[in-house]
Amino acid sequence: MITIHDALILTPDGPVPGDLTVEGDRIAALATGNADTHIDARGGWVGPGLVDLHTHLREPGFEWKEDIRSGSRAGSVGGYTALVAMPNTSPAIDAGHLARFVTDRGREAGLLEVMPAGAITMGRENQALAHLDELFAAGVRVFTDDGDGVADAGLLRHAMEYLAERGGVVAQHAEDPGLGRGGHMHEGLVSSRLGIRGLPSLAEETMIARDLALVRLTGVRYHAQHVSSAGSVELIDEAKRAGLPVTAEVTPHHLNFDHSRVESMEPCFKMYPPLRTAEDVAAVGGALAAGIIDVVATDHAPHAEHECEVPFEEAPRGVIGLETAAAAVLTAIELSAIGFFQKMSVIPASIAGLASQGQWIEEGAPANLMVFDPEAVWVPERFASKSQNSPFRGIKLKGKVMATIFAGRITHQVSS
Amino acid sequence: MKHLLSMSDLDRAAIEELLDLADHFAEVLDRDIPKVPAMRGATVATLFFETSTRTRLSFEKAAKALSADLLNFTPSTSSLSKGESLKDTVLTVQAMGVDLMVVRHGAVGAPARVASWVDCSVVNAGDGAHQHPTQALLDALTIRRRFGKLDGLRIAIVGDIRNSRVARSNIDAFTTLGASVTLVAPPTLLPFHVDSYPVATTADLDSILGDLDVVYMLRVQLERGSGPVLPSLPEYVSRFGLDRRRFLQLGKEAVVMHPGPMNRGIEIAPDVADDPRSLITDQVSNGVATRMAVLFRLLKGKGQL
């Protein structure tokens, strides 16, 4: 039995100060119990454990970067109790047995719930549909070729028609391969001066615009991954106003950094979509606060240290984010406790259909929760992830995860 | 100054100091014994991860003329072909005892990255489409030796600006030294956001020929992706090639430059390249003096000659 003392508890009726007791894998009472373990929240927030719609756990195939156990560990340090694992592994998660492998490995690690996302096309090769029914039967609800956009509009249309009937979500990494070809950073003033080939905002926006037309046709639930540009925000806003079943995510790094960071040519500022202009950073932050962008997702993308000891153009794409996300979001924009947990837990859980995640705290609810000090200031240096490629290393952040509880067990706790 | 990585590291005074030093070394190179003991005991390593003949030879000649010892690294015969990383390669070379590395690499920022790993000085001998500072210095020297100064000169840079490290470095150098620069290219070969550059632009070469002091022709770099953004090479040549007809429209004092290697018959007609008002071979010989100045300046600081 665990009692959390002196917490601001995020209940279905809003934040309530008090104590909370966990027994077994459930919340037993919003009161002090006869506990053997005590956590002092010191007035910090206690809400549902965070849910990441966009994590690269790298297993199977790239275990030197991360594996399901180490990624789960990083997630629990970051306050997460559920991760949606991206399918761009080797092999890609395009069939039922592969999805079950990911789920099983997540259970073995036991630190949080790992839900596999499935590929839309076989091998993520943009040629033929993946085994969508098998994946669905294995518990997959989010489908994506993340890492690449599905470029073939005809193929994507079939996937959408099929998944609309099954109730799956099509999550798109929007990047037109023609407009984005050879690009390593945002196409703009900085890329022009550096002589680095750019990836224009239009590579993202044209694909989202095309996809939204297909959503109108098929009625499928569509989720725009890692939205990075002001133009994309406008398209999504318009689609939502038109009543289309569309959601969107933004990453902590796109909320915090613009393309001027690339002047350092540090590979930990290389990601797709790239860091864009200050205007874009303001637009995605405003859209998150306003609910046009629904959720924060990390796009946690581990790469080993030696893989990053190369020139910028040769560096791998992506940065880690699980352990800094909660703080990085609050460092970038102001959110209430309710807004924070909505965007980091409640809405992502509902998009992915994770039934025992993202529930406001009340008696009988699953004991998946996290304790967060929104005022703590800290500087990340080393990470529990196997990889250390974080753009937030050495940067002062506001807000710290004090403890994480998954299925009634403490999976992370800051020693005081 | 420990490294020379980009022309943007140099202000006008620093450029002029290097050009004065280069003038001095040009005089050394004219002597019966074109060699000084200025860098005896120092070791210079040339690491060219991207192929080059003239730039590597030019640095090696410069190092030898300063009596430095030379180590030469070429990837085709090296452990790079066995999969060794850039970092391991440069740390290995450094461990042999090196005072200065000259680095060329196909990726932007590679020399700066190398500079962050090693203790010795690093000279950027060309990184991707980013910078080639010693080229800009030798070009500025060549123009200064011809016209006395760059202030007020009208210089056109013609061709694939977007993918050219020579153009990026030369825009910095020429404008810092007071010249007015016009970029001449089709829209697909101009840099993005070119309106933020301190230059004029045009796609009409013929309209400005009569006003120029220097016409600087760039290589059509088919290997760097000039290809797919042009309708065809003949169309490019007809609009942007410096042929005899265009050459005759230049003023009597105007000169022609090219960083080499040339595509004769494409961006420059053979007889124009060989005309007495072509400074292309001057650029090559000034290159050695310029690189002597850079090596000397980085290793000896402001010490006596």
Mean pLDDT of chain A: 97
State yes or no: is B46 an active-site residue: no
Structural domain of residue A257, as residue ranges? 49-358
Task: Write out pLDDT tens, residues A286-296.
Answer: 999 999 999 99
Does B226 score more than 80 pLDDT? no
As a whole number, mean pLDDT of residues A195-219 equals 98
Instruction: Give the integer Cα–Cα distance in Å for A102 and B219.
Output: 52
For residue A410, being part of any structural domain is answered with no
- Lookup: tokens for B31: 């002597």
User: Is residue A307 a part of any domain in this protein?
Assistant: yes
Interface contact B130-A313, CB threshold 8 A:
no
List the single range of A4-18, A220-234, A330-344, B230-244 with lowest mean pLDDT: B230-244
* CATH assignment of B133-279, among 1.10.10.10, 3.40.50.1370, 3.30.750.24, 2.60.120.650: 3.40.50.1370
Query: Distances from the Cα of A115 to the Cαs of A207, A302, B54, in angstroms?
Result: 26, 18, 57
pLDDT for B283 beyond 60: yes
Provide the shortest C-alpha distance from residue B89 to chain A (in Å). 12
Q: How many CB atoms lie within 10 A of CB A288?
A: 26
A193 has a chain B CB within 8 A of its CB: yes
Nearest CA in chain B to A313: B107
Given a cut of 80, whether residue B305 has pLDDT beyond it is no
What are the chain A neighbours of B133 within 8 Å (beta carbons)? none
Gyration radius of chain B over CA positions: 19
Partner-chain residue, chosen from A193, A195, A310, that has the shortest CB–CB distance to B128: A195
CATH code, A214? 3.20.20.140
In order, the DSSP letters of A11-43 are ETTEEEEEEEEEETTEEEESS--S-SEEEE-TT
Q: How far is B233 from chain A (nearest CA, A)?
A: 22
| DSSP codes joined into one string, B37-69 | -TTTT-EEEEEESS--SHHHHHHHHHHHHTT-E
Domain presence at residue A299: yes
Please name the residue of chain B whose CA is at the shortest distance from the CA of residue A263. Answer: B109
**pLDDT average, residue stretch B168-191:** 97
Q: Which pair of tokens denotes residue A357? A: 């995640």
pLDDT (tens digit per residue) in A234-260? 999 999 999 999 999 999 999 999 999
CB contact under 8 A, A192 and B193: yes
Surface of A (119-178) touching B: CB under 8 A: none
How far is the alpha carbon of A309 from chain B, nearest alpha carbon, in Å?
7
Residues written for chain A:
416
Model pLDDT, residue B302? 45
Pick the residue with more confidence: A127 or B85?
A127
How far, CA to CA in Å, does A251 sit from each of A47, A358, B137, B188, B298? 21, 19, 43, 33, 43
Convert B159-191 to b/e letters by CB count within 10 Å (16 or more is b): bbbbbbbbbbbbbbbbbbbebbbbbbbbeebbb
Fold of B7-132+284-300: Rossmann fold (3.40.50)
* Contact by Cβ (8 Å): A161, A176: no
- For the stretch A35-61, pLDDT in tens is 999 999 999 999 999 999 999 999 999
pLDDT of residue B304: 45
d(CA B37, CA B49): 29
Percent of chain B with pLDDT over 70: 94
Spatial distance between the Cα atoms of B170 and B179, rounded to a whole number of angstroms: 11
- Rounded Cα gap, residues A143 and A116, in angstroms: 9
Q: What is the pLDDT of residue A69?
A: 98
- Say whether B128 and A196 touch across the interface (CB within 8 A): yes
Peptide bond into A200 cis (omega under 30): no
Give yes or no for residue A367 having a pLDDT over 50: yes
Q: Are A196 and B163 inside 8 Å of each other by CB? A: no
Q: Render pLDDT for A146-179 as a digit per residue (tens, 0 to 9).
A: 999 999 999 999 999 999 999 999 999 999 999 9
Residues 85-104 of B with CB under 8 A from A: 85-87
Please provide the DSSP assignment of A210-264 as one string.
HHHHHHHHH--EEEE-S---HHHHHHHHHHHHTT--EEEEE-HHHHH--GGGGGG
The one catalytic residue in B82, B193, B252, B302 is B82
Residue of A187, A192, A311 lying closest to B113 (CB–CB): A311
Q: Categorize the per-residue pLDDT at B82 as very low, low, confident or very high, splitting at 50, 70 and 90.
A: low
Helices within A78-200 (DSSP H only):
96-109, 132-137, 153-166, 177-180, 189-194
- Distance, CA of B145 to CA of B199 (rounded, Å): 23
Q: Which of A182, A189, A196 sits opposite B193 (nearest CB)?
A: A189
Is B54 annotated as catalytic? yes
Examine residue A273 and say whether the peptide bond preceding it is cis (omega within 30 degrees of 0).
yes
* Cβ pair B128:A313 closer than 8 A: yes
* CA atoms of B133 and B156, how far apart (whole Å): 18
For residue A310, which residues of chain B lie inside 8 Å, CB to CB? Answer: 85-87, 107, 113
CA distance B225 to B285: 30
Please provide residue B123's backbone torsions phi and psi, each rounded to the nearest 5 degrees.
-110, 130
Contact B163 A195 (CB under 8 A): yes
Contacts of A195 in chain B (CB under 8 A): 108, 128-131, 163-165, 168
Measured at the CA of A293, the angle between CA A291 and CA A299, to 5 degrees, comes to 140
Alpha-carbon span A354 to A81, nearest angstrom: 11
Non-local (6+) Cβ contacts of A78 within 8 A are A50, A298, A322, A323, A324, A325, A326, A401, A404
Structure tokens that stand for A33 in this block:
């119990």
Q: Name the residue in chain A with its Cα closest to that of B192.
A: A192
B107 vs A contacts (CB less than 8 Å): 310-314
d(CA B297, CA B42): 13
Give a yes or no: residue A30 inside a domain.
no
The dihedral sign for the CA sequence B175, B178, B183, B184: negative
Please tell me which of the candidates A182, A193, A312 has its beta carbon nearest to residue B107. A312
pLDDT value of position A100: 98
Is B55 marked active-site?
yes
Q: Inform me whether the pLDDT recorded for B129 exceeds 90.
A: yes
- The arithmetic mean of pLDDT across residues B180-198, rounded, is 96
Residue type, B139: D
Identity (one letter) of the amino acid at A36? Answer: D
Has residue A131 been placed in a domain? yes
Q: What is the pLDDT of residue A332?
A: 97
Cis peptide before B261 (omega within 30 of 0): yes
Answer for the pair B81, B92: CB distance below 8 angstroms, yes or no. Answer: no
Three-state DSSP class for residue A204:
helix
pLDDT of residue B303: 45
pLDDT at residue number B227: 59
Taking 80 as the threshold, does the pLDDT of residue A115 lie above it? Answer: yes
Where are the domains positioned within chain B?
7-132+284-300, 133-279
> Measured between alpha carbons, how far is residue B230 from residues A3, A65, B221, B227 in Å?
70, 41, 12, 6
User: Is A17 part of any domain?
Assistant: no
Q: Read off the DSSP letter of residue A175.
A: -
Render B185-211 in DSSP notation, one character per residue.
--GGGSPTTGGGSSSEEES-STTTGGG
Q: Do B7-132+284-300 and B133-279 have matching folds?
A: yes
**Does residue B225 carry a pLDDT above 80?**
no
Please state, rounded to an integer, the average pLDDT across all residues of chain B: 93
Q: Answer whether B253's CB lies under 8 Å from B143's CB.
A: no
The reply to whether B193 touches chain A by the CB within 8 Å rule is yes
Q: Is B87 a catalytic residue?
A: no
Question: Closest residue of B to A182, CA-based?
Answer: B225
Report yes or no on A57 lying in a domain: yes
Handedness of CA A282, A287, A289, A290 (dihedral sign): positive
Handedness of CA A127, A128, A131, A135 (dihedral sign): positive
List b or e across B266-295, with b for residues whose CB sees 16 or more CB atoms inside 10 angstroms: bbbbeebbeeeebbbebbbbbbbbbbbbbb
Structural domain count of chain A? 1
Q: Is the pLDDT of residue B169 over 90?
A: yes
Residue B36 has pLDDT above 90, yes or no: yes
- For residue A32, the Cα-to-chain-centroid distance in whole angstroms is 33
